[in-house]
Every structure is written in C-alpha cells, then in structure tokens.
Amino acid sequence: MTVFETDRLIVRHWTESDADVARVFDIMRRWEVARWLGAEPRVLENEAEALGFIQRWRARASADDRYGIWAVDVRDTGVTVGSVLVVPLPGVDNEPTTDIEVGWHLHPDSWGNGYATEAGRAAIERAFGAGLQEIFAVIREGNAPSVAVARRLGMAPIGKRRDWYGGVELDTYHLAATPD
C-alpha cells in the first residue's frame, strides 16, 4: 500500500513478501549500513532476522500512517532502495518519546542519487502537513553522508545528545515547521 509519492519515488509499507525480506536482508547485512543504526549496531545474519526487522518496523507504524518505517521504491525501475521513517524516538529506556525522528537507510547500490533527500523531504513535508511542529534527525558521529542529507533538508545541528536510543551519544539535527 502506497503511503506517499514524489516525482521519482513511491513510499509504501514494507511487506513480508520474499522480495522485501530479501532486500532488507541485503541492506542490513552490510556493515557500511548497519554501523550507523540503532543503540547497538550489528549486521543481520539471515533472512529470518530481516523478517523480524520488517515486523518490528510495521509495529512502530501508527494506524493512520502518520508514523512509520516505509519502503522506498524508484518509480521507473521498481527497485526498493531502502527505507525512510518518521517515528517517535525511543528514549534512554527504549520507550517511545514525544520527540519525532526522520531518518533513512538505503542500500549502497542506491547511494548518491538523491533518494534519501527526496524521500526525507517528502516525509517531513507530510509530517508538518499533519500538524507536527518539529522533527529531529539523529546521526552517529562520522556519518558524513547522513549529515549532508540532514543539511540539504534544512535541518540545523543542535549538538550531541544522549536522550534517545538507550543513551547513545548522537549528533542531533532539528527542523521546526514554518508558520502558515
């Protein structure tokens, strides 16, 4: 089911299909992707773990699709390039907070095409259109490509914080909705 679209991308729900499970596994088995994600980064070892990821991602979605971790497909090719997300940040205790995160994780074969920026921009516009007043991006130190995406999205650095993801220190970026 489609959640939203851009000129080049279709953002949809991840499914438990063989194709989606295989793609999530192919993305998350790579250290160059996994090293930046979660409180304790690790690569996936099999497709059963990838299915578990999809199930957890789907569980984080809101019933109204305001929040979720969604698959990003290239409209012209149908290739799933990765994920974009708008979700409540998990706090130090890993319980959801009222702070909302935008994020992205793409397969390395899709890096450098502007997909993260395009999907992130549309996700933010959608969230602000639904009434969200501010959004954060949290990025591990050294992840220059994600910092570049956050900056292209107009997000401002606000320093290192340990409020989320079990207290891991993360570079934090912020964007406030503009008044109508």
**pLDDT digits (tens), the chain, 180 positions:** 899 999 999 999 999 999 999 999 999 999 999 999 987 899 999 999 999 999 999 998 888 889 999 999 999 999 999 999 999 999 888 888 999 999 999 999 999 999 999 999 999 999 999 999 999 999 999 999 999 999 999 999 999 999 998 899 999 999 999 876
H/E element, 36 = none
pTM flag (> 0.85): yes
- 11 backbone dihedrals φ, ψ, rounded to 5°: -105, 125
Q: What is the pLDDT of residue 105?
A: 96
**How many C-beta neighbours within 10 Å does residue 171 have?**
19
Does the domain formed by 2-176 have CATH 3.40.630.30?
yes
Tell me phi and psi for residue 119, to 5 degrees. -70, -40
Closest CA to 69 of 89, 52, 84: 84
| Contact yes or no for 147/73 (Cβ under 8 A) | no
Q: Is 35 exposed, middle or buried (0-12, 13-18, 19+ CB in 10 A)?
A: middle
- Predicted local confidence at residue 180, as pLDDT: 63
pLDDT at 67: 95
User: In this predicted structure, what is the pLDDT of residue 160?
Assistant: 97
Taking the domains of the chain in order of start, what are their residue ranges?
2-176
Q: What pLDDT was estimated at residue 166?
A: 87
d(CA 165, CA 50): 20
Q: What is the pLDDT of residue 61?
A: 87
